[in-house]
């Protein structure tokens, strides 16, 4: 029987692409997003591809929503094998830090940092009990280099990088692994906010899928690693 994969932020963009990709491969899926209408459309598409799917409207920066979502997935499938921490927000768009509204700054950090912390923490008990687990979190080049006008989003990704490095060290003696994926700049609604009127080519979310397959196929060797799509495609000769 195929693994159970949990995907946050599954209603659009990369999260939707991952959901449909793994639905085609027969994985059992637990998906969530804040937009229930869009999420249920993705669920229907995944079911049409033959997948077993649990879809729950949830704000994964909220501990109660996280517990409810994960509990439903565990009650349905009995386990969680892979967690893809994909959900995030950009914020108000390009803006100098000096002009940033403090409440929006807090909201972006709260959403982007707390959700991978809460989801990882909540799923770890099952993974550690099973002596098997993989947690992949989405980062950004802005999580290693500060870019003007990327504001709280960039700061939040610096925090996600540190969060996952800490998890990796703490889990190094276990069979549960955590790693990061930098997907580069993708043709998504979030990128439209970050770079309005973008005039250069972007990757489609579907072009990232082979990288996630690569990580899953190499379980046992990925803990603490940071994968970026540019290096992956270069090595693959694309």
For helices 13-24 and 36-48, the axis angle rounded to 10 degrees is 20
d(CA 13, CA 30): 17
Report the catalytic residues. Answer: 153
d(CA 227, CA 26): 25
Sole residue written with tokens 């069979």: 175
Structural contact between residues 13 and 209, judged by C-beta atoms closer than 8 angstroms? no
Tokens at 135, concatenated: 């947690």
d(CA 59, CA 69): 9
d(CA 5, CA 121): 16
Structural contact between residues 87 and 65, judged by C-beta atoms closer than 8 angstroms? no
CA–CA distances in Å: residue 215 to residues 13, 134, 229? 20, 9, 12
Tokens at 177, concatenated: 């692994």
Structural contact between residues 128 and 170, judged by C-beta atoms closer than 8 angstroms? no
d(CA 54, CA 160): 26
Element (H, E) at 175: none
């Amino acid at each position: 029987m195929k693994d159970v994969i949990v995907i946050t932020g599954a209603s659009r963009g990369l999260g939707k692409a991952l959901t449909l990709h793994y639905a085609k491969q027969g994985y059992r899926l637990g998906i969530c997003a804040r937009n229930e209408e869009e999420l249920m459309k993705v669920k229907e598409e995944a079911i049409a591809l033959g997948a077993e799917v649990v879809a729950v409207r949830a704000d994964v920066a909220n501990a109660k929503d996280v517990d409810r979502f994960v509990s439903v997935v565990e009650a349905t499938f009995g386990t969680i094998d892979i967690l893809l921490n994909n959900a995030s927000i950009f914020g108000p768009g390009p803006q100098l830090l000096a002009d940033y509204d403090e409440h929006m700054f807090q909201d972006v950090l709260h959403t982007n940092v707390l959700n991978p912390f809460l989801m990882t923490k909540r799923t770890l008990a099952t993974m550690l009990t099973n002596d098997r687990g993989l947690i992949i979190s989405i980062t950004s080049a802005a999580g290693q280099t500060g870019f003007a006008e990327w504001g709280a989003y960039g700061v939040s990704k610096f925090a996600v990088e540190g969060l996952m490095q800490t998890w990796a060290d703490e889990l190094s003696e276990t069979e549960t692994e955590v790693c990061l994926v930098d997907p580069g700049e993708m043709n998504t609604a979030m990128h439209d906010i970050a770079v309005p009127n973008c005039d250069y080519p972007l990757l489609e979310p579907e072009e990232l899928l082979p990288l996630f397959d690569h990580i899953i196929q190499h379980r046992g060797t990925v803990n603490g690693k940071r994968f970026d799509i540019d290096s992956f495609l270069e090595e693959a000769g694309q």
